[in-house]
Copies of this chain bind each other. A is one copy, B any other.
Amino acid sequence: MPTRPLNATAASLLGFLHEGPMAGYDLVATAQRRIGDFWSLTQSQVYRELSAMAEVGLVKAGERGRRDRRPYALTAAGRAAFAEWLDREPGMETIRFPLLLTLVFGRHIPMRLLATYLEHHRRIHAERLGAYETQRRALHPQSAETEPFVVATLDFGIAYEQAVIGWFDRLGLAGADVGAGDTP
């Protein structure tokens, strides 16, 4: 029975396991740090995928270590499944942006309130951009995070945040004092 194709979350876990065995806890942290900005996942999901993958032999749980850590290692089947996943055309991105929904229905809210939402979100995006730029400057050669591929995703984050901030700043909502400007 051909186990149905991996989902992207599971595949990512297998991807990280190529760097060596890891426990769920580490995988959560690693994934959130390395892909969390464009692929959200939760602790619950990670444990679920790990036990599911262990059941079908894509990973193998090792002996429990200190603090009950249970390291998972990639198996040959896991490696194969990962390779297969990479071979399939990646799907289109999905964006779910609640603020834009609110904005579409803007005529149903007081401008004041809408302006607060916009300012708040703008600030968050500005902070994110700042963080990405710091990361970008701090890149050390010779770390897994410095691979050109990884740098490329960081650059995506930067481009995205810049676009969002630019958009906020160009938003000219007829007469509202919704605008640019960092926090005073």
Contacts and interface: CB of A to CB of B under 8 A. Distances in A.
B108 A83 contact: yes
Interface in A139-184: 147-150, 152-153, 155-156, 159-160, 162-164, 166-167, 170-171, 173-174
A84 B15 CA distance: 43
Contact of A38 (B11, B83, B97, B124): B97
Number of copies: 2
A102 interface: yes
B124 A40 contact: no
A31 to B, nearest CB: 10
Interface of A: 8, 11-12, 15, 18, 34-35, 37-40, 82-83, 86-87, 89-109, 113, 117, 120-121, 124, 147-150, 152-153, 155-156, 159-160, 162-164, 166-167, 170-171, 173-174
